Amino acid sequence: MEPKKNPQLDLRRNSLLYFFVGMTLVLLMAYLALEWKTYYQGDSWDVGNLKVDEELIEDATILKLKLPDPPKPKIQAPPKIEIAENDEDITETFIEPNDVNQDSKVADIEDVAVAEEEITEEIPIVLVENAPVFPGCENEKTEEDKRDCFQAMVQKHIRKNFRYPDPAKEMGLQGRVSIMFTIEKDGSIDNVRLRGPHKSLEEEAARIISKLPTMKPGQQRGVPVKVSYSLPITFKLN
């Protein structure tokens, strides 16, 4: 039969509590030991009675630096102005107006001949003051009507004289030929320039332009001038 233990006499029951209490006391004692301060209670030090070895005292040499005097500014004397005496007499010259005969006649502006500048360069038909007049457009009243009539008569001339070249038909050539020509001062056609896809088409376009009639030349400021005109001719097989 095992003897029964009294729980109140069991030492291990509060061992954890004892451990924390003991740890707290140890930490408290360590804190007090670290924070404990002591003060010296004896006589205070007399600094005046301290003896210092004279060898440790070095002679201090005081250097006196003498700065140079700043340079004095140079004051330049103003230039001496001498006034030369001129004993020569000054002769004043008076310009008198010429005598004008009040009875003399002044030439009118209309009597003065103005040389007219000859215009040698070509002027595009859209910029010339008076466009060339195609035969049959003389009765048009306004300048705009004459230009419209010119365009219509040129197109009519192309349709009337158009002929498709046989070599171009055989080769199936088609395309647009750009044409530019000059209407001279006498109304004749000159300086024909062409650009097209084939020589045969260009030759046909040149033939049509060569059949244009002589026109009334264009004018700039009332003077006959050369007028350039451009148009395309389209060759198309049906």
Q: Would you kindly state where each structural domain of the chain is located, as residue ranges?
A: 123-235
pLDDT score, position 152: 94
Average pLDDT, the chain: 78
pLDDT score, position 104: 55
Burial tier of 229 (Cβ tally within 10 Å: 0-12, 13-18, 19+): buried
pLDDT at 174 over 60: yes
pLDDT score, position 35: 83
* CA dist list (Å): 53 to 10, 47, 57, 58, 213: 75, 14, 7, 11, 138
pLDDT score, position 5: 60
Stronger pLDDT, 194 or 46, i.e. the higher one: 194
Taking only the tens place, the pLDDT of each residue in 30-71 is 888 888 776 655 555 554 555 555 554 455 455 566 667 777
Q: How would residue 177 be classed by pLDDT, with cut points 50, 70 and 90?
A: very high
Range in 120-124, 176-180, 202-206, 210-214 with the lowest mean pLDDT: 120-124
**Per-residue pLDDT averaged across 188-212, rounded?**
94
Stronger pLDDT, 133 or 62, i.e. the higher one: 133
DSSP per position, 43-58: PPP-GGG----GGG-P
Structure tokens belonging to residue 74: 């140079």
pTM score > 0.75 for this model? no
Burial tier of 62 (Cβ tally within 10 Å: 0-12, 13-18, 19+): exposed
Taking only the tens place, the pLDDT of each residue in 72-130 is 777 766 666 555 555 555 555 554 555 545 555 555 545 545 455 666 789 999 999 99
Quick one: CATH architecture of 123-235? 2-Layer Sandwich (3.30)
Rounded Cα distance, 227 and 121, in Å:
9
